[in-house]
Structure formats: structure tokens, C-alpha cells
Amino acid sequence: MQVTNVNDVRVYNLTCGQKAVPEWLNDDKRKKLKKEADMKQRIELIQGFEMPMLSSCIQMTRDGQYIFVTGAYKPRVRCYDVNELSLKFERCFDNECIQMKILSEDYSKVVFMHSNRYIEFHSQVGNYYTIRTPKQGRACDYRYSSCDLYCVGATNEIYRFNLEQGQYLEPLSSKSTGFNACEFNPEHELFACGSVEGHLECYDPRVRSLVGNIDCAVYANSNSGNSFSLPAVSCIKFKDALNIAVGTSTGQILMFDIRSNKPYFIKDHNYNLPIKRIDFHTLNDDYVLSIDKKICKIWNRHTGKNLTSIEPATPLNDMLNIPGSGLICLTNDSPKIFVYYIPTLGNAPKWCTFLDNITEELEEKPADTVYDDYKFLTLKELDTLGLSHLIGSDLLRAYMHGYFMDIRLYNQAKSVAEPFAFAEYRKQKLRAKIDLKREKSRVPLPIVPTVNKELAEKLLHDEGDFIVNKKKKQKAADTKESLTILKDSRFRSLFTNPDMQIDANHVSFKNIAPLVSRLSRQTTAEDESISNENDEDQDEEEQEDDDGNDLIDDMLTSDDDN
């Protein structure tokens, strides 16, 4: 598992291992890397969550139990059961799938739009029926109230196919030459579609006529500053009954209120790439998730401030945010489907609640940008090591302003160029250990608080005398030092709160002054008696030492006489 930290937001990559693998390694070395411990730390959230070559579309059923993924090669669809965390079934196609739409609550009714103008209707047993559109389709959506499937594509007509009657209905006509995206509003069923000319057209399916038209290309060009290309609408997403997000082919996202023909916010990905998918987070409506071919961004729809971003190495195709959670799945041009977990967005889904515990236990440091088995050296560092003659050979691989070298070769060259480096390193370690021992041997001075300073000094003095007396009576080894009033949390406010300052001039304090002075004299007398006892004990110990020394001298003298 790999952890990155962008804008102080942790992003857990559940797909790749910790070690970064260079692209120039051959297949044999890649197979050996799979057996290493770092590569085995990968978390396979769903077993077999991948495609043979690449993955294109991904959607989840409304009951939240099944995930559909299309990919290649050979073109196919796979359905995964999240409760079992495994593959449920797989079906192959004759042509590539452009878009799919799940019609039912579960996996029993699905529509697939293919690149050869065919549309397949699948049931739980397999392919149920196939129709062909007059022109190539690019997007489709389903109207549940009338059982109509609306399809848009490389034509000015919007095709309508009624699934209850099993026949085409009269299409809707438009002045645009083609459409790239379409979607029904789930609340009032307003049908919105984006044209290749950059217009957002809205139709009322009840009267089958155009009710609104917004020129999004004008606002996209004004924001990007590019007036030479005409941006097209690439994707559409409704947030609720009033708000809609429109993605353009030049990388802008326009946030509209359908009651106004001007966007209230424009977000630019700054890559000049078509926006492929837009989604709104279900728990926090202010966060928008958008992807293009290069990056997935999570940002605030009011301010445009980025929460975090995900930038994989391979091009992205589609995105799925598991509803009500921080789990994100990204299809891409590689076999693995990328799975990311962002706790800031939400908790793990109910079918993988163990993910919260795993991320806490297996949390690791962010991976370095360099490879673990290779060392990056600049030209100056190569000259220092005397390895500049290796430039152009297989031992060095040029990268940016330097070269990658095998770490073993680097260690050998460094040991030859700097033979006394290990000795210096050993001296530094020994010096650090000695300094650490000196720090531990130093006796820390007690810190006297500012509030009730005289009382604190008296308590510290009494505590020091008490410990000294215990040591002299050899009782400190059997008894454990108790907490003083200064260390007791119950009396902490007495030395921190200025309101608890003892006022010797106060009337209440003067009333108890005789008692305080009497206790002070009694304590002084006890200290003097203890001091006298200690002096007597010390005299006895000195007398015993003198007798012992005399005895040793007599023994040494008798040995000399003999």
C-alpha cells in the first residue's frame, strides 16, 4: 500500500505496492519483483478486479451490491459482487463498449452501447436483445417513468426507443450537428445534452421540444484565453433539481443554476484535456470529483479550492465514487483498476469496513520519487566518483538532468572514491552516543512556578531533605518516591492559577498566622533532630571505617613480619 499526502490530505493507493518499478525493466525482472516482500504488501480489495489489457467504463448498481466494469481485449464486461469481494460473472462482446446504463436495482437489466452502432440489452441470463441505431451513438440515458431510452451521437437527432413497446419513437431534432453527452434529471426529468458546438440543450420530454439553450463555449473560451478552438461539451452531471455541471473538451468545468444562463463558477483543470467524468460527493455536496485523461481532482464547487488530487502514471478513462464513502475506483489504460481510499471524504463502505483498520496498521511513509534499487546522479556527481566514462553505456540510463545507476555499483564506486567515509561515519555515531549519555547523566533542575513561588520553594526544599534522609538511612532502595504536591494534578491550579495566590496581608491569613508559625517551629525542630541523628550515624560510620582501616593495617604489618 502506498500513501501520498497532498494538501495535508492522506490518499491511500490500494492497488500498487510500496516499491516503484522502472518502466525499462524486462518481463523476467518484473516477475522476480512480484515475489519480494514490498510487492506482497499490496491490498487486493476485490479479487480479480482487473481487465486483460485496459478498462473503460465502470458503474455501480443502485442497491450498492454490484460493480460493472467494461474493458478489452477481447471486449468484455465483468460484474463484481462487493459482498463476496469477488467476480460474479463475465461476458464477452464482439465490439468495444462505449457506454453502459444499468436499468434495474441489481444486475438483472443492463444496456450496452457499442462502437458498431449496436445496442445490446442484457438480462441476468445473458444477451436478451440487440438493436441498431441509424447513426453512431456516443451516450445514452434512461427515462424510468416512460421506459424510454434516449440515445445521442454523431447526428442532429436524439433517438428514442421505448422498451415497453419494443420500437423506436419519433426522434427529437436539433440544430446541432452532434452530441457527446446526455443525462436526465432524476427529480423533474429535464433532459440535458451537450453538443459538439459547445451548447447545453435542455428538452422537456413531456412536450418533446427544446426549452433552454446555453452557449458554454463562450464562457470556456473566456476563462482559458484560447479563442482559436471551439470547445465542445464532453460530459454532463446533475447535482440536484437546480444545479448542473458541464465539462468541456478544453478542460473547464462550468457550474450552472438552470434558472440562469451564466455559470456561477468555472473550474479549469489546466491540462487542456477533455473532462471525462464529473461526480458530486453524496456526503458533502460541496465537493466535486472530476477527471480528465491525466488527473482526478477533488475540489469545492463554490470556491474552486482543491482538496486533493490523484495523478496516476497511466491515462484515465472513467471514475466511480462509492456512494457515501471515501473509496474511489479509476479505470485506465492498464490491466489494474486503480482503487484509492481518502478518509477525509468519508469512511470505508460497509462491505469493506476492515479497510479503516488496515490503513491504520499498515500506514507507511510516503514513497520517495526515486527508485529504491537505483541511485540518481548528476553529471557533477559522476565526475566526483570518476564514472563519467560510463555515459552512453548500459550501466547508466539518462533521465532529465542526470542518470540512473544501479545502487550496488554506486556503493562500490563510493567506497573506492572515499575510502575513509566509513571511518568518519563510525566516529560520528560514537560521538552521538557519547553526547546522548552525557545528556542523560545531567541532573535536571526543578522548575519553580511563578504562582506561590515561596510555597513551591519550601516544598522542593523539604522534598530534597526527605530524600537525602532516606538515602542516609538506606531506605530509598525499598521505597518508591511519591508524587509531591507540585506533581499532583489535584493541586496543579494552586501553582498555575493567579487567583490562587496566597496573600500574607489578607485578614484570613493573619487569623491563622499563629498556627502557621507554630507548625513551622515544630517542623524546624524535627529537622534539627533528624539532622542530629544523621550526624551521629555519620560519626558511627566514620568510627567503624577507622577501626576497619586499623585492622587492615595490622594485618598488612603482621604479614610483613612473617
Spatial separation of the C-alpha atoms in residues 59 and 101, rounded to whole Å:
8
Q: List Cα–Cα distances, 116 to 95, 96, 131, 171, in angstroms.
A: 7, 8, 11, 20
Spatial separation of the C-alpha atoms in residues 64 and 67, rounded to whole Å:
8
Spatial contact of 181 and 236, defined as CB atoms under 8 Å apart: yes
**Banded model confidence at residue 478, pLDDT cuts 50, 70, 90:** very low
Distant-in-sequence, close-in-space partners of 350: CB < 8 Å, separation ≥ 6: none
Distant-in-sequence, close-in-space partners of 512: CB < 8 Å, separation ≥ 6: none
Q: Show the cell assigned to 297.
A: 481532482
Angle at 511 between CA 505 and CA 517, to 5 degrees: 85
SS3 assignment, position 408: helix
Q: Show the cell assigned to 90.
A: 463475465
Residue 467 has pLDDT above 50, yes or no: no
Q: What is the pLDDT of residues 420-458, one digit of tens each?
A: 777 777 888 888 888 888 777 766 666 667 777 777 777
Backbone angles phi, psi at 425, to 5 degrees: -65, -40
**Long-range contacts from 82-91, C-beta under 8 angstroms, 24+ separation:** 82/46, 82/349, 82/351, 82/352, 83/351, 85/45, 85/46, 85/47, 85/351, 85/352, 86/46, 86/47, 86/48, 87/47, 87/48, 91/122, 91/126, 91/127
Strand partners, 199: 215
Q: What is the pLDDT of residues 483-507, one digit of tens each?
A: 466 677 777 777 788 877 887 777 7
How many residues in total does the chain contain?
A: 562
Q: What is the pLDDT of residues 29-46, one digit of tens each?
A: 766 666 665 556 667 788
Domain boundaries, the chain: 374-441, 457-530
Quick one: which H or E segment has residue 406?
strand 402-406
Q: What is the mean pLDDT of residues 54-68?
A: 94
Q: Please count the other Cβ atoms lying within 10 Å of the Cβ belonging to residue 476.
A: 14
Residue 5 confidence (pLDDT): 80
Q: Please count the other Cβ atoms lying within 10 Å of the Cβ belonging to residue 80.
A: 24
Residue 540 confidence (pLDDT): 57
Spatial separation of the C-alpha atoms in residues 216 and 247, rounded to whole Å:
9
Name the residue with cell 488530487: 309
DSSP state, residue 536 = H
**Banded model confidence at residue 471, pLDDT cuts 50, 70, 90:** very low
Strand partners, 58: 69
Name the residue with cell 464513502: 325
Residue 527 confidence (pLDDT): 56
* Residue-averaged pLDDT of the chain: 81
Of 119, 60, 57, 113, the C-alpha closest to 276 is 57
Spatial contact of 90 and 79, defined as CB atoms under 8 Å apart: yes
Alpha helix stretches (DSSP H) within 277-420: 354-361, 379-385, 407-417
Spatial separation of the C-alpha atoms in residues 210 and 468, rounded to whole Å:
96
Q: What is the mean pLDDT of residues 502-531?
A: 67
pTM tops 0.85: no
Q: What is the pLDDT of residues 270-309, one digit of tens each?
A: 889 999 999 999 888 789 999 999 999 999 998 889 999 9
Spatial separation of the C-alpha atoms in residues 55 and 332, rounded to whole Å:
6
DSSP state, residue 416 = H
Spatial separation of the C-alpha atoms in residues 358 and 364, rounded to whole Å:
11
End-to-end CA distance of the chain: 82
What single letter denotes the amino acid at residue 61?
Answer: T
